[in-house]
Amino acid sequence: MGRSGSSTGMICAVSPWAYICWEFGATGMARTTPWSAQLASSPAAAPVIKRWINLIIVKKRQTCPQFSCRTIRPWHAAFRPPRLYCQTLRPPPRAPCSPNMALIINGEQIDDEIIEAEFRHIKGHYERTLQVACCERDPEFRGIAKDNLTSRALLGQESRRRHPEVSEADVTARLTKLIDEAGGETQFYMNIGMPVKDEAIVRENVAGGVRLDKTLQEIYAPEPEPTEAELRACYEANLKHYMTDEEIQASHITKSLQGATSRQEIYHSMRDVRAQLLAGADFAKLAEEHRSGEQQQIDLGWFKRGEFMEEFETIAFSMGEGEISPVFTTQLGFHVCTVTGRRPSVARPFDEVKDDVKSRFLEEYRDRKFNAFLEELKATAKVEDTDPEGANCEH
């Protein structure tokens, strides 16, 4: 599998919070779609793709005034179509937020800086998962940030009302558990980004967690004991979570690249092997003839996705039973494989997963109770949003 060229290129769109890169690079034909393979092999590809990107840039400038772009590497006729990348950068210096309080919840003031930090956290998550570019979803993320902070404030207020005092023993027990789970005190304080000298602040935060736990226990109590019919209904509704993994049994013939003088020679040799198999030759017998050592497996047995090399699994799981694969490569060499057995994904019996179903049933019960409790708090709360558009901060 040859490459259509060796040059690469990249266009980056830069905003104050993220940069978005359309990266172009020569690629092996096996990894291109039919239309992109055609583009990649066409001398006219670069102008076509360049016009395409220019249209994207114009559109982005219409929706995001901060959008700009620059060419980092030269164009080349062998570029493949673009892929989108987002990566969070350290934000540039920005104007400080005004002293106004954007949110006031039952008299408790939430600083703009706290809202901004929550907003950046949410937007950063979507940037890392490539679900956002530039700033078109900023109003949505700012709304989510305010809703999150409102919910936390209401839960904290209700927990303090119900449990104004918590014992030092409870706080110490919870803090000790958190430190143990983090792998020690040093790692714990590194994880939360606070020095050990701020233990008093940490303990107060932990006390808030203890209050909330006590409050939630009161909300959930008494937890129901589900009937057999309720458990079976839960099982049927969540059947996709109780499916076995698909399995296949496969055999392969392989030639290692180690010590090879010519990849092309090995490839043509494996093509000859495949031709013999397609003509009706016995797979096991031919595999023995081409086996490079006693330790080299021919029958790979039964396996699930994720247990072998991805390249091998992609081919093997796409085949029907008895089918002969094309010649393909992995890091181990050239292969030809055949699927000798297949076990489809099936639902595990109810009795086998009954305990898991009960746990899911109770988890869904708690979710419903929690959401209903939170909606009750919101319905009676006095929430003042003095900056609904987020204008107090310049971004």
More reliable by pLDDT, 232 or 136: 232
pLDDT in tens, 233-275: 999 999 999 999 999 999 999 998 876 678 898 999 999 999 9
pLDDT band per the 50, 70, 90 thresholds, residue 391: low
CB atoms within 10 A of CB 166: 19
Q: Output 12 or 395, whichever has higher pLDDT.
A: 395
CATH 3.10.50.40 domain position(s) in the chain: 247-343
Domain 247-343: give its CATH code.
3.10.50.40
Average pLDDT over residues 72-82: 33
pLDDT digits (tens, 9 = 90+) for 144-172: 999 999 999 999 999 999 999 999 999 99
Q: Note the pLDDT tens digit of each residue in 177-201.
A: 999 999 999 999 999 999 999 999 9
Q: What is the location of CATH 1.10.4030.10 in the chain?
A: 101-222+366-385
More confident residue, 56 or 353: 353
C-beta neighbour count of 282 within 10 angstroms: 10
Question: Per CATH, which fold does 101-222+366-385 belong to?
Answer: Triger factor/SurA peptide-binding fold (1.10.4030)
Residue 19: partners with Cβ closer than 8 Å, 6 or more residues away = 12, 13, 86, 87, 89
Least confident segment among 96-100, 288-292, 361-365? 96-100
- Within 8 A by CB and 6+ apart from 85, the residues are 20, 21, 22, 23, 130
Percent share of the chain, pLDDT over 90: 63
pTM, 2 dp: 0.64
